[in-house]
Amino acid sequence: MPALDRAAGRRSVRALLVDDEGSLVLIRRTKPGEDPYWTTPGGGVLSGEQPDDALRRELREELGATASIGGALTPSTPSVASDPCQTIYLARLRTLRPETRSGPEWTEQASGTYTIAIVPITDLATINLKPTWLRDLTSANAAALIAAASLL
């Protein structure tokens, strides 16, 4: 599928990234004047780039990480408002070397801070993970997601 034109909508990919202990590797975002929130690593798909290649690039840039990429996660409830231009993949962390990250989020602090956060999947109810449908889906299916990620 080709990348979407910016005027039509930005296509992006994200990873529900599980480590060997069954924790999630997330990014804690703080923005001036807003409460902190957590999000999955990822970002925009460049023109001509395949989604899995984009996700691998984003993981390198944002975390200094490599991962095995699995299938896309989708909410089972039709009423869940998810972004049709964003795909979230299940992934298993292979390496994490924050000192090698290179994305602009680490050098341009004007839009707030990005902190790598390792969060036990059982603690999701205690954090503000966005999007909320992903928090709910992950919490409800924690054991199955950890098992699936271990096979990647």
How far, rounded to the nearest angstrom, does the alpha carbon of residue 42 sit from its chain's CA centroid? 5
According to the model, what pLDDT value does residue 10 have? 75
Quick check: is 110 in a domain?
yes
Closest CA to 14 of 49, 53, 58: 58
- Taking only the tens of pLDDT, the chain with its 152 residues reads 333 344 456 789 999 999 999 999 999 999 888 899 999 999 999 999 999 999 999 999 999 999 999 999 876 554 444 556 788 999 999 999 999 988 776 666 667 888 999 999 999 989 999 988 889 889 999 999 999 999 99
| Structural domain span for residue 125 | 12-150
Tell me how many domains the chain contains.
1
- What is the rounded distance in angstroms from the CA atom of residue 74 to the CA atom of residue 78? 10
β-partners of residue 130 are 39
Tell me the CATH number at 134: 3.90.79.10
Which parts of the chain fold into alpha helices (H)?
51-63, 132-140, 142-150
- Residue 4 in any domain: the answer is no
Cβ neighbors of 101 (< 8 A, separation 6 or more) are 60, 61, 62, 63, 64
Task: Tell whether 139 is covered by a domain.
Answer: yes
Q: Are the C-beta atoms of residues 4 and 48 closer than 8 Å to each other? A: no
Q: Do the domain assignments include residue 3? A: no
What is the structure's pLDDT at 76? 59
Domain membership flag for residue 40? yes
Report pTM. Answer: 0.86
